[in-house]
Amino acid sequence: MYQLTFDTQAFIKKHWQQTPVVLTQAFEDFVDPIAADELAGLACEEEISSRIVVTEANQNQWNVIQGPFEDYDAYGETHWQLLVQAVNHWYPDSQPLVDAFRFLPDWRFDDLMVSFATPLGGVGPHIDNYDVFIIQGEGERRWKVGNKGDHKRRGGDENSPLVEDFEPIIGVVLKKGDVLYIPPGYPHCGETLSLAISYSIGFRAPSQQELLTQLADSLIDNNSGHQRFTSDSEALEPGIVSQEQQQGIMQLLAELATQPEKYQTMLGKLLSQNRFELDICEGEEPLDLEELQQVIEDGASILRIGGLKVLRLENDNISRLFINGEVFALENVTEAELVSFANTVNLDNELAATMFDNLAIAELLVELINQGLYYLAE
């Protein structure tokens, strides 16, 4: 069990998406959920996103090598770091650490990245466009965090997250159980003091680009969004697009944003998708309702695969859930049942039996198990 020691609601008010903060001993008696050799094992896999960053000896250049990796002999004892994304998808024992951060909504959660760093290893000074909680496990790392501002990109490359050195507003050595929270836009840089494992819990919200792309796809799919601009007055000069008309045309987009029936489906689909591959758990034989009832009677629990997002939109007047970018409609379920299903990652046997009593939910469970998005456990 991982239990945060700080007041999470006070944290949201004071720091979340606002200012970086060191949360000393945010976990008491922290135990690493994964060992270095297990992480190396994950980094061997083709479908798991991993990279090694090598810090050049002059500490001024960081070379990135994309995984998978078979062995690490070539990298030596110092100056490199292995980073593995979406470990929560592939390593169920890491889920309890993620659960500790469910005081923030699931739609915002991106992934758990785990890093193994050798002394003097690091990824260099950089800026992320997401919120991150960096949890220190084994070993020690020194972190510097600078203020928001106009930071020059290294080598003038505007697409690189790497920035020039910055004046720190936070300088700290993180020890086991300490957490550093960094909102988007704050430059930061970690330097490894002794062999270290750290955990980055990342959160991100969709960009305007992502929203508009998804919105356009959804309008096309539903043959909707055909409204065009009209006006009862025109500019006197033929070559001019009046300010009023510019605003009137753009208002067509703003109107879509005020009509839930126009945006909710696309928003539910977008927010329930995962950026990283999921470890889909397909059984050999599809299950039917009677078989599921039997295994529950025999004591089975039903678990969600790591990273799967199950969301309910508040005030959605359609009885449905959004799961992994798809819509699942459910008849004859209450709002409370929908919300409870979305909130619950693991259905222990008792809860599974209670949920099974509702036919629509029982059928949903059968479908989700057959799709490999939920699985049975003893």
Interface ranges with ligand SIN (CB under 6 A)? 115, 122-123, 128, 132, 134, 188, 190, 198, 200
What does 198 interact with, of Co ion, ligand SIN, none (CB < 5 to 8 A by kind)?
ligand SIN
Task: Name the minimum Å distance from CB 190 to ligand SIN.
Answer: 4
What does 88 interact with, of ligand SIN, Co ion, none (CB < 5 to 8 A by kind)?
none
Q: Which is nearer to ligand SIN, 200 or 272 (by Cβ)? A: 200
Please report the DSSP string for 169-181 in residue order: EEEEEE-TT-EEE
Task: Name the minimum Å distance from CB 1 to ligand SIN.
Answer: 24
What does 277 interact with, of ligand SIN, Co ion, none (CB < 5 to 8 A by kind)?
none
Task: Name the minimum Å distance from CB 222 to Co ion.
Answer: 38
Q: Which DSSP letter does residue 162 get?
A: B
**Cβ count near 260 (within 10 Å):** 14
Sort 20 into a burial class: Cβ within 10 Å, 0-12 / 13-18 / 19+: buried
Task: Name the minimum Å distance from CB 287 to ligand SIN.
Answer: 40
Distance of CA 141 to the CA centre of its chain: 24
Sort 237 into a burial class: Cβ within 10 Å, 0-12 / 13-18 / 19+: exposed
Nearest to 364 by CA among 377, 352, 348, 349: 352
Asked if 367 interacts with Co ion (CB under 5 A), we say no
Task: Name the minimum Å distance from CB 252 to Co ion.
Answer: 38
**Cβ count near 6 (within 10 Å):** 15
Please report the DSSP string for 243-263 in residue order: HHHHHHHHHHHHHHTT-HHHH
Nearest to 345 by CA among 314, 291, 309: 309
What does 320 interact with, of Co ion, ligand SIN, none (CB < 5 to 8 A by kind)?
none
Instruction: Give CA torsion, residues 156, 160, 162, 167, to 10 deg.
Output: 60
Task: Name the minimum Å distance from CB 58 to ligand SIN.
Answer: 19
Task: Name the minimum Å distance from CB 308 to ligand SIN.
Answer: 24
Q: Which is nearer to ligand SIN, 84 or 271 (by Cβ)? A: 84
Q: Which is nearer to ligand SIN, 99 or 128 (by Cβ)? A: 128
**Cβ count near 218 (within 10 Å):** 19
Q: Which is nearer to ligand SIN, 135 or 296 (by Cβ)? A: 135
What does 363 interact with, of Co ion, ligand SIN, none (CB < 5 to 8 A by kind)?
none
Asked if 128 interacts with Co ion (CB under 5 A), we say yes
**How far apart are the C-alpha atoms of 99 and 219, rounded to whole Å?**
35
Sort 136 into a burial class: Cβ within 10 Å, 0-12 / 13-18 / 19+: buried
What does 124 interact with, of Co ion, ligand SIN, none (CB < 5 to 8 A by kind)?
none
Length of the chain measured in residues: 378
Q: Which is nearer to Co ion, 45 or 128 (by Cβ)? A: 128
Q: Which is nearer to ligand SIN, 134 or 355 (by Cβ)? A: 134
Asked if 185 interacts with Co ion (CB under 5 A), we say no
Report strand pairing: 301-304 vs 374-377: antiparallel
Task: Name the minimum Å distance from CB 309 to ligand SIN.
Answer: 21
Q: Which is nearer to ligand SIN, 127 or 266 (by Cβ)? A: 127
Instruction: Give CA torsion, residues 309, 47, 138, 123, to 10 deg.
Output: -100
**How far apart are the C-alpha atoms of 70 and 11, rounded to whole Å?**
41
Instruction: Sort residue 59 into left (φ over 0), alpha (ψ -120 to 50) or beta.
Output: left
Task: Name the minimum Å distance from CB 188 to Co ion.
Answer: 6
Taking contact as CB under 5 A, which single stretch among the options 30-38, 54-62, 98-106, 125-133 is the one that binds Co ion?
125-133
What does 264 interact with, of ligand SIN, Co ion, none (CB < 5 to 8 A by kind)?
none
What does 376 interact with, of ligand SIN, Co ion, none (CB < 5 to 8 A by kind)?
none
Q: Which is nearer to ligand SIN, 139 or 268 (by Cβ)? A: 139
By Cβ distance, which residue is nearest to Co ion? 128
Asked if 170 interacts with Co ion (CB under 5 A), we say no
Binding site for Co ion (CB under 5 A): 128
